[in-house]
């Protein structure tokens, strides 16, 4: 583990009605309180419908709350969208931007993601900027070019280690049960680190998370990879026991 404090983030995606979501938030919050001294920061990103309630449950404690997306504008005629200041207003401290499901389902380009990241910063939110190659891109040997290209455009010049976290999520490893190997993760994280240190004076201070089928059984070995500063967890973040075991893997 690096000198950077790890962040374990849960992306609930489009899951959880109120009862389940609040039970999950309460379960995590209670465990965090009981444990006291934690070896990592904890973030949950519920669907927008639950952010306010989850923030009420976690109530400024060790479990932080984030959104899953924000609009580039602060307000306006954008039906169905949510502005970054609105997320901050209901208790979010973070927001995911550029998740591959947003890139694919909503045709989000790295240029738009840079604008969303800046909107998040302007609202005082920490942006978790997601990047990752598809299976086809990996098979073509284009992984590092794709990921570095996404980083170069998606991460704005106003990014700092305090307002920005990077999440590397190979698309082929998301929700598939296929995890990238330790060597594959190490190679990409080192490349991202090199890109960040080349561009930012304090590039070595940014946290770089790995995401893609992280679960209790593989968390410890992934978190031990150099330049892996935490995890962005999908499916396994929906169960208190599983997510907590991943959190404990940071110890
Ligand atoms: O997309 C992810 C987190 O943002 C990863 O999802 P899974 O952990 O379900 O593979």
The DSSP result for 135-184, as a single string, is: HHHHHTT-HHHHHHHHHHHHS-TT--TTTEEEEE--GGGTTSSPPPPHHH
Beta bridge partners of 11: 45
| Residues designated as active site | 99, 169
Specify if 1 maps to a domain. Answer: no
Q: Could you list the residue range(s) of the whole structural domain that residue 228 is in?
A: 7-248
Check if 234 has its Cβ closer than 6 Å to any atom of ligand 1. yes
Specify if 140 maps to a domain. Answer: yes
Instruction: Name the residue of 13, 16, 46, 131 whose CB sits within 8 Å of the most ligand 1 atoms, as the mutation to test its pocket.
Output: 13
Mean predicted confidence (pLDDT) in 31-49 = 96
Q: What is the CA 120 to chain-centroid distance, rounded?
A: 14
Q: Could you read off the pLDDT of 88-120 as tens digits, one per residue?
A: 999 999 999 999 999 999 999 999 999 999 999
Specify if 2 maps to a domain. Answer: no
**CATH number, position 57:** 3.20.20.70
Residue 60 in this model has a pLDDT that exceeds 90: no
**pLDDT value at residue 217:** 97
The domain tally of the chain equals: 1
In this prediction, the answer to ipTM > 0.85 reads yes
């Amino acid at each position: 583990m690096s000198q950077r404090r790890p962040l374990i983030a849960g992306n609930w995606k489009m899951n959880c009605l109120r009862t389940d979501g609040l039970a999950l938030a309460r379960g995590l919050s209670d465990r965090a309180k009981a444990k006291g001294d934690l070896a990592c920061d904890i973030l949950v990103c519920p669907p927008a419908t639950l952010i306010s309630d989850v923030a009420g449950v976690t109530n400024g404690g060790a479990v932080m709350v984030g959104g899953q997306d924000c609009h580039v504008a602060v307000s306006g005629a954008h039906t169905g969208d949510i502005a970054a200041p609105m997320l901050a207003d209901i208790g979010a401290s973070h927001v995911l931007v550029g998740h591959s499901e947003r890139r694919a389902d909503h045709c989000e380009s790295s240029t738009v993601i840079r604008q969303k990241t800046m909107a998040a910063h302007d609202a005082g939110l920490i942006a978790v900027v997601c990047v990752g190659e598809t299976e086809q891109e990996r098979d073509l040997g284009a992984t590092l070019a794709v990921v570095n290209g996404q980083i170069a455009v998606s991460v704005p010049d106003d990014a700092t280690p305090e307002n920005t976290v990077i999440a590397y999520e190979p698309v082929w490893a998301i929700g598939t049960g296929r995890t990238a190997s330790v060597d594959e993760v190490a190679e990409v994280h080192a490349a991202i680190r090199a890109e960040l240190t080349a561009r930012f004076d304090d590039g070595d201070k940014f946290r770089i998370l790995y995401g893609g089928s992280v679960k209790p059984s593989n968390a410890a070995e992934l978190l031990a990879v150099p330049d892996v500063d935490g995890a962005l967890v999908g499916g396994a973040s929906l169960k208190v026991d599983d997510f907590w075991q991943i959190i404990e893997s940071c110890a």
